[in-house]
Chains A and B, each alone.
Chain A
Amino acid sequence: MVKNAMSTQSIRTRFLGTETSYSVSGAWLSYWILLLRLTAGWWMLHAGLDKIWAWPFDASWFVGGAAQGTILAPFVTPFSDGILLSFVNVAVPLGQTAIGIGLILGLLTRTAAFFGAYLMLFFYFINGYGGGWAHGMVTGELLGIMVFGTIVALGAGGVLAVDNRLREMEPFENTRLRRLLG
């Protein structure tokens, strides 16, 4: 008979003014956070590579068109032409690709997930407003923000991740830069 080797972690903390304690399976937590990272990573990597494959990418329909009249318009529409549009046309595909690679490899995981959430914030509000919120306030994009937030909060770069090696390196050792890792 094989013994169950899965360890259980006890979470005990004070949260929002109350004592909280519960148990989680360390093995399942690691497993699930890895799957979350790989899934979200491929989501971004695919989105980025798709745009690079079909280069040139033109985001003007989004930043200049779809964003019009939305709550983010004041921040987004200045990027709808000229050099700022050129920047967006390059930054979005490269950014999505970098986020995807970062999450899949567990490389600068927390940074990658932060920018994933940042990017998703634009998709959430612009698509939501553009569609009149016809699919409700909780959409795939909002859940995407929550997934990236989960990766940031749980330090998902600790599981089968390059970040484990980076933590041993001098620039990341006992410095604020460690926060960039998972």
Chain B
Amino acid sequence: MADKIAMYVGGGLVVLGVVVIGLLDMLLGAGHPVNSEGAIEHAAVVPIDIRAGIILLGLVVWGSVAVYKFAAGPAPTGTSAGQAPSGMDD
């Protein structure tokens, strides 16, 4: 369950903030993305603060699930010395 929350919610928010909103900005935003000083102009469809907040939330979900899995998840199984256990093994 924790893995699914990390994958769907955490990953979903990060991809939404980075890729989906970025694509929307390109398609629906105004103007050239780079100004004369080489800086990217955010003629944003979604305000940049909200976009950053969405990404932050996604990263926090990932981090929280990692902490939860350590604190409350069952011990990893089926690994022997020399083998790297998977992070998604339960």
Chain A positions near chain B (C-beta within 8 angstroms) = 15-16, 71-72, 110, 114, 117-118, 121, 125, 128-129, 132-138, 142, 145, 149, 152-159, 164-165, 167-168, 174-176, 178-182
Contact = CB atoms under 8 A, between A and B. Distances in A.
Given A16-B8, A175-B75, A155 B85 contact: yes
Given A167-B81, A179-B76, 7 more contacts: A71-B49, A71-B52, A121-B63, A125-B52, A128-B52, A133-B48, A165-B81
A154 B52 contact: no
A137 B63 contact: no
Nearest to A174: B75
Interface in B9-41: 17-18, 22, 39-40
A137 B51 contact: yes
B52 A129 contact: yes
Interface string B52-81: 110110010011001001110111100111
B83 A158 contact: yes
B88 interface: yes
Given A16-B8, A71-B53, A179-B73, A158 B39 contact: no
Contacts of A142: 18, 55
Contacts of B87: 110, 152-155
A87 to B, nearest CB: 20
Nearest to B71: A176
Contacts of A155: 84-87
B43 interface: no
A12 B71 CA distance: 28
A132 B47 CA distance: 12
A71 B17 CA distance: 15
A144 to B, nearest CB: 12
A110 B73 CA distance: 15
